[in-house]
A and B are shown apart, each in its own frame.
Chain A
């Protein structure tokens, strides 16, 4: 459970920092009148949707941290046989990086009021995300053709499960991306487009980060790190 504990410690640090800005030591029973608004000079300027996305990312992060925790506990059992990671995964990773870059491009274009750039970025980002998903399916197919079925070893089960969950989150992101593209199509004002594009880009970067961590886990790169954590804790 060390991964989730670390993650929760991070969340607690952020929450603690935020709470420390909220004058929790004030004495409300003595303070009458309109207070300067302590939703802060920085926080309240953020749109609700952005805060909402931030909270949602915390939930998603907690989900993946729990999967990682389960993975690292289960991999110590004797029946664990690590599976060969298909080379295709590296290609897919490259595609996902491209996707993230394309959306960042779209966001930068949106800030420059460059509608053509936004369209190119969104389309390129969406297309490469779809390619990533197809690539993941092909990787599944390669594995199952090679005889690594979902139930034949816990390492396989985790591989399929974790990649599936990540893929589902990306598909959810594609729905949001589709809506944003539709907005651009209908010619909605740039101010509204800008926020949607920004949120998509943030979500994409987050999923890329999650994927890199998962890739490290699935390929065994982070095994040493996990061992170190385990020794620290025990």
Chain B
């Protein structure tokens, strides 16, 4: 055991974190609308992200209706189908998941978990939200511009993204790129806050190795996002110039409608490199916060310390670093040099090692734990199972020889929905059920929560498990209607119909969730300050919901890590991070 001097009255280190000059709101507007309080900004981020996410959910219904019952819904034409695909993907990946994990959970939890009064740059933080909102508005407005939203697919590959055959070529693509550029600017403002707050505003005693894993996950994901989003920024700006000014960064020499276009000599592969240099880290930008949240949920609801905390931290850092050298595994069929394929297949398989460590540690945390099957715990368990499922098919697709035949089939769609659709959403739901009592002071309704969980979890598997099989049959993705294709048996159509019905049901279950969010706000059971018996700092605030400035007169003092659950000899089955070691105050000296 490392010999660490115990706290004595005189031994408390001086406050190295200067008291932040908090901005105090003077009116209703600055308190609830143009607020600089990270907690309010977090709620604004979450509501905006969930709202635009509902749009994407409806789009997925429309796609499933078309796939399940081709020809029945005449209002969905092939162009619209492509537009639905594009908007669904873009919204879900960037405007919902990224914004919700970093802007929502990050803003709410970072200051509370590290023991700070607020983010270090509150004004920039507020600006970040409003720029994000503007990006969302620009994105949503593409539904109403002439020609509608772009139908280029969420990857926006040139040349087709800006050629006349693609829906939304007039305005949709321009608005989409403008919205992405705005999003990146807004995110950079927020991201600076999250990183510097973790670095500089931790309270006394909160060393990096005492941070809850949620903070580690969000912190690392933010660092990655700050470095990776510029690649999307560069790609968007250059594609925008190709579209508006007629430059040829990405556009090769092309004949369109029998006529030579003004473009010439550009490299579509260059775009793919830039896009995936952002796109792959993006997967982990979404996954790492989920990893962190799940680690905390499992530990709290199994009343057991997280197994292998150090390994968990190292794995998060390793995944973050490795995710920058695997991007071209999205480009095996782009015609790149086969040796590059080997290189990227190798790095892709290496990244499975730290990821597997995390999964083992979650399972070992559960092992002989006092598992409470609360709603957050159910979602956490669902996350582990789903992530393992999606991760295993990732091993298939990471290998060049397996990927080439499966590329552009439903197998890929099933894989990425499992690993970065369902799994992170399970973490989002788990996180919301877990921290809602802290945010509102009331519990979410348990019965509705269980209903929501079982329908969502089983329903998601009803949708995406058969989809793997369709992919192996060779059913292509992005097709409006597969029609009578020789190699696709009739049973595939029945399966499609089944999946569509499941998708509709899962979608409706989300409405139950939304109802629960609103209903519990007024009628939910009073939660008290620490309903789950959590040890980390956010559960130790003097008020619930935490007041302006989070803590009372003094910042909390941290004496231990965030996972002291079921400590032998302790009075309760958890020891809060800010509880002094037993006897130290009485003796006042090193025991």
Contact = CB atoms under 8 A, between A and B. Distances in A.
Interface stretch (B69-77, B239-247, B383-391, B445-453): B239-247
B209 A52 contact: no
B227 interface: yes
A34 B234 contact: no
B140 to A, nearest CB: 27
Interface residues on B, range: 35 or more
Nearest to B270: A73
Given A59-B226, A63-B234, A51 B209 contact: no
Interface string A203-231: 00000000000000000000000000000
B584 interface: yes
Nearest to B2: A31
Contacts of B226: 55, 58-59, 62
B245 A150 contact: yes
- Interface centre among A35, A67, A74, A157, by most chain B C-beta atoms within 10 angstroms, is A35
A70 B192 contact: no
B248 A154 contact: yes
A103 to B, nearest CB: 22
Interface in A146-190: 150-151, 154, 157-158, 161, 165
Contacts of B204: 34, 37
B397 to A, nearest CB: 22
A35 B7 CA distance: 9
Contact of B310 (A24, A39, A44): A24
Contacts of A36: 13
A59 B120 CA distance: 18
B425 interface: no
A38 B208 contact: yes
Given A55-B196, A78-B265, A157-B241, A35 B230 contact: no
Contacts of A150: 241, 245, 247
B249 A4 contact: no
Given A27-B310, A28-B210, A35-B205, A52 B196 contact: yes
Contacts of B277: 1, 4, 66
B233 A63 contact: yes
B492 interface: no
B227 A11 contact: yes
B408 to A, nearest CB: 24
Contacts of B223: 15
Contact of B559 (A22, A33, A63): A33
Contacts of A35: 4, 205, 207, 210
Contacts of A39: 16, 199-200, 202, 207
A30 interface: yes
A31 B207 CA distance: 11
Interface string B1-45: 110111100011100110000000000000000000000000000
Interface in B289-327: 305, 309-310, 313-314, 317, 321, 324-325
A79 B121 CA distance: 47
9 contacts: A11-B227, A28-B210, A37-B13, A52-B121, A55-B226, A56-B192, A59-B226, A77-B266, A150-B241
Given A34-B13, A43-B199, A48-B201, 6 more contacts: A4-B231, A28-B309, A29-B309, A48-B200, A52-B121, A151-B262
Q: Across chains A and B, which 4 residue pairs bring their CB atoms closest together, nearest first?
A: A79-B265, A28-B561, A63-B230, A157-B247
Interface of A: 1, 4-5, 8, 11-12, 15, 19, 22-39, 43-44, 46, 48-49, 51-52, 55-56, 58-59, 62-63, 66-67, 69-70, 73-74, 77-80, 150-151, 154, 157-158, 161, 165
